[in-house]
Structure 1
Amino acid sequence: MSNNENAMDVELTAEQKQAESRRILLEGKYITRNVRFLERGIAAAEVHYSHRALRTLSNLRKRLEPETIAEVIAAYTSVSNVQNVAECLRCAVEALEMKPAANPAAKQCEPEICLFFCLLTQLYLLDNGQYEKGAKLSDTLVGMLSSSPRKTVDPLVARVFFYFSRFYEVADRLSDARPALLRALQAATLANMKESKAMLLTLLLRNYLHYKLYDQAERLTAKTTFPTDAPNNLLARYLYYVGRIEAIQLNYSQAQMHLLEATRKAPSNAATAGFQQTVHKVYVIVELLMGNIPERSLFRIPTLKKPLQPYLELTQAVRIGDLNRFQEVVSQYQSKFLQDQVLILIQRLRHNVIKAGIRSISVAYSRISLRDICLKLHLDSEEDAEYIVAKAIRDGVIDATIDHQKGYVKSAEIHNVYGTSDPQHAFDRRITFCLNIYNESVKSMRYPGSDHRKELAYADEAIRRERELAQELENDDYDEDSDADDVMDEDL
């Protein structure tokens, strides 16, 4: 069987193979199937059909050709008679530089189907490097999109805005897209389009972070609310951006919480390895800024081992409190840290390196002179060492006292950690995490649609009939008993 198939492949010409692949794309499980999903979603007013249609875009975009897209547009709609959102199909055909054959029998194109075809055009233009045409088409799409009350349009609109921002980003004109995104966010909020709102929030945060507008990004997060039922991929991206903003704003505890939640929300597979690497780079720096040392197992994960190698060396320098080693690592990987946009955070770690060195010295020595501390930490003078140790004592880094006259530091006795409230706080954090997972699981449960209400109506009608029948039987029994009593009275 396989030999016959190989022989047929040899006999087919390149044009025949292209025509066969186009036929499979149109009539197979791709475009036609997705259009049917969209039509079923429109009829049932269910948004999950739109998600099923968008789920195959990753495989579909590898087979897209301008002739195929133009043929699909001509098969499902008449370009000369479209209105509203569907007018973008004309712009899509012009961007592809194709002239599909007129189809007078084609019906009016629904907004969902028209947006799906325009989305295919965006993908083709993006993958083939035609950024100017893609930006022009995206501008037309965004200008014609309106706040439709149908929730089935929401996932498609969100994808259109994503590629709209992507075209401007690759063209290095991301700031030009910001006014349109802000207007769209206002419209999506008023129309209660939750997925579009979630997408627009993440795109605006990415826009602000690209130009280091941290104050504006922080005000945006403070004045808006991210939809609780947004998809996990959007939620993970939003949490990552918020974590970066909080880290820049010195809110390390909040940043650590958001970044850790982003790593948990994002799926762990090869497709999301880049996102996991980006999040963990910032997460490691935030952990060090909080005075914590990340687990060694984190740097042994196969997808993170090589990208986090500079951060592992940085962690080792901070852990041992070696200021010279820390400066060497920063100088060696400075270009890498600049590329990852974390150098501004790493520069704050110098004080943490000194604190870690003081902590290790306090544990190792019950009493040590300020001169020795100055030599071990590579400080300039004993006055600097005295000031740093005093600040560490005030911040609670170490439990010690300074003898200023004799010039030494005396460490206090080490107390049992289980006699403090630290285990209670750790246990409380774990309980809070488990309760949050439970609450989110309850919120994410799907409930059946309104079809079961018909069955409930039939059941209520049946129960009502049974009650009426029982009441009639009781009345009949009462009448028979009354007749019998009358007969007995007559006999008496």
Structure 2
Amino acid sequence: MSEPVSTDVEMQESKGDEIQAEIKKDVELIHVEEIREHARQIEKSIQAKEPRFLHRVLRSLPTTRKILTNNILKRIIHGFYTHSVKDRDFLLSYLEQVPGDDLVQQRMRSIKSSTSPLLPEVDVYFHLLLLLRLLDTGKNKEAADLSDALMQKVISQNRRSLDTLAARCYFYYQRSFELIGQMDKVRSFLLTRLRTSTLRNDFDGQATLTNCLLRNYLHYNLYDQADKLASKAAFPESANNNEWSRYLYYIGRVKAIQLQYSQAYKNLQQAIQKAPQSTALGFKQIVQKMIIVVELLMGKIPERSVFRQKNMRRSLAPYFQLTQGITKFVSF
């Protein structure tokens, strides 16, 4: 009597697995269509000479990064790289090959023929998505290799429409080498690109590369080189708040090491003011810790309200104890 019940349970489980698989396929297709739309927006930006479409795609990059999976990237690569088997196989070599992958090898670029090459901006964008996937899955060595190839693509194109996208690539290029402990290897390349960006009035690239180099120098405690870079390379006024916030934080650290506490305090305060209000919590915690240390070195006692901030209490607890200890010592 128990056999039919067991069979029914197995059938229900099998049907449930099939439903889940179908839902997964549908979700993947939705995400693939989103990335396909991003490619259209990039093409539209280049053809209409309207950077705002490209900027819209880049602003959504953090959200796009969260939906990337092996299957989605394989669908994108098979669908877009119909013009070059070499490029397609190169990108696929960085993705995990799972037997039975459901790849929909459909033509996704209905506007172009299968032999028509991608726009350089679209090509770089897809390379960047794959690079982000490798970083998020901990494949740092593969990410460094791919970022090298990506940089070769970027420098081989003399297109101003690529500048904003290239700036993002510079950041993740250094990040991939930072994760494998080889940041020093990219320094000369970044310096070369900074000179090129400055000559071309590429303000996005100039801001990103300046911050990358400052981070590089500070990582190796090369404070004199960081100070020289900051004094000789003017930071573009048109840089966005995120880049300004990073720059002011790095300069604040340099000034603190040079015992210029007043200037360091000013820079760090500006850095936390320009930081995003609802995100970048980790960054704001680091800056706030630095501000407290600088204040104490200046002989000032930080306001108690600083330690009571909702998202700062736990991370600032040791600094609160330090402040209490110094207060007791001074009063004694």
TM-score tier after normalising by the smaller chain length: 0.7 to 0.9
Cα deviation per residue 1:364-417 (whole Å; 9 max; x = unaligned)?
Answer: xxxxxxxxxxxx5xxxxxxxxxxxxxxxxxxxxxxxxxxxxxxxxxxxxxxxxx
For the Cα contact (< 8 Å) 1:78–1:102, is it kept in 2?
A: no
Q: Distance in 2 between matches of 1:114 and 1:242?
A: 35
Partner of 1:245: 254
Partner of 2:5: none
Change (3 A) 1:61 1:166: same
For the Cα contact (< 8 Å) 1:288–1:294, is it kept in 2?
A: yes
For the Cα contact (< 8 Å) 2:167–2:208, is it kept in 1?
A: yes
How many Å apart are 1:11 and its aligned residue? 7.0
Q: Distance in 2 between matches of 1:186 and 1:100?
A: 44
Q: Distance in 1 between matches of 2:268 and 2:17?
A: 56
Partner of 1:262: 271
Q: Distance in 2 between matches of 1:36 and 1:105?
A: 16
Aligned length: 308
- Choose the corresponding residue for 2:173, options 164, 175, 178: 164
Cα deviation per residue 1:212-263 (whole Å; 9 max; x = unaligned)?
Answer: 1111111111110111111111110111011000000111111111100001
How many Å apart are 1:204 and its aligned residue? 1.1
User: Is the counterpart of residue 231 in structure 1 residue 237 in structure 2?
Assistant: no
Q: Distance in 2 between matches of 1:294 and 1:49?
A: 44
Aligned runs of 1:74-113 on 2, under 5 Å?
Answer: 74-80=78-84, 91-96=90-95, 105=114, 107-113=116-122
User: Is the counterpart of residue 61 in structure 1 residue 62 in structure 2?
Assistant: no
Aligned runs of 1:34-433 on 2, under 5 Å?
Answer: 34-80=38-84, 91-96=90-95, 105=114, 107-146=116-155, 150-269=159-278, 271-320=279-328, 322=329, 357=330
Q: Distance in 2 between matches of 1:36 and 1:144?
A: 20
Q: Distance in 1 between matches of 2:125 and 2:92?
A: 14
Q: How high is the TM-score relative to the length of structure 2?
A: 0.85
Change (3 A) 1:24 1:137: same
Q: Distance in 1 between matches of 2:18 and 2:47?
A: 42
- Choose the corresponding residue for 1:21, options 3, 10, 27: 27
For the Cα contact (< 8 Å) 1:168–1:174, is it kept in 2?
A: yes
Cα deviation per residue 1:104-138 (whole Å; 9 max; x = unaligned)?
Answer: 62532111111110011001111112112111110
For the Cα contact (< 8 Å) 1:205–1:217, is it kept in 2?
A: yes
Q: Distance in 1 between matches of 2:273 and 2:209?
A: 22
Change (3 A) 1:57 1:25: same
Cα deviation per residue 1:454-490 (whole Å; 9 max; x = unaligned)?
Answer: xxxxxxxxxxxxxxxxxxxxxxxxxxxxxxxxxxxxx
Q: Distance in 1 between matches of 2:49 and 2:96?
A: 35
Asked which structure has the greater RCO (Cα within 8 Å, sep 6+), the reply is: 2
For the Cα contact (< 8 Å) 1:299–1:312, is it kept in 2?
A: yes
Q: Distance in 2 between matches of 1:183 and 1:170?
A: 22
Q: Alignment partner of 2:181: what SS?
A: coil
Amino acid corresponding to residue 31 of structure 1 in structure 2: I
Cα deviation per residue 1:8-52 (whole Å; 9 max; x = unaligned)?
Answer: x9474454333222211122xx20221122122112222222121
Change (3 A) 1:305 1:267: same
Q: Distance in 1 between matches of 2:137 and 2:245?
A: 29
Amino acid corresponding to residue 164 of structure 1 in structure 2: Y
The percentage of aligned residue pairs carrying the same residue is: 39
Cα deviation per residue 1:262-303 (whole Å; 9 max; x = unaligned)?
Answer: 01000222x311111000001111112222222111111011
Cα deviation per residue 1:314-333 (whole Å; 9 max; x = unaligned)?
Answer: 2223334x1xxxxxxxxxxx
Cα deviation per residue 1:299-353 (whole Å; 9 max; x = unaligned)?
Answer: 1101111111111122223334x1xxxxxxxxxxxxxxxxxxxxxxxxxxxxxxx
For the Cα contact (< 8 Å) 1:236–1:265, is it kept in 2?
A: yes
How many Å apart are 1:150 and its aligned residue? 4.1
Q: Distance in 1 between matches of 2:28 and 2:247?
A: 38
Structure 2: state its 5+ residue gaps.
1-14, 98-102, 108-112
Q: Alignment partner of 1:307: what SS?
A: helix
Q: Distance in 2 between matches of 1:12 and 1:55?
A: 36
Q: Alignment partner of 2:267: what SS?
A: helix
Amino acid corresponding to residue 73 of structure 2 in structure 1: I
Structure 1: state its 5+ residue gaps.
1-8, 323-356, 361-375, 377-492
Amino acid corresponding to residue 255 of structure 1 in structure 2: A
Q: Distance in 1 between matches of 2:89 and 2:232?
A: 38
Query: What is the root-mean-square deviation of aligned Cα atoms in Å?
Result: 2.4
For the Cα contact (< 8 Å) 1:37–1:53, is it kept in 2?
A: yes
Bigger radius of gyration: 1
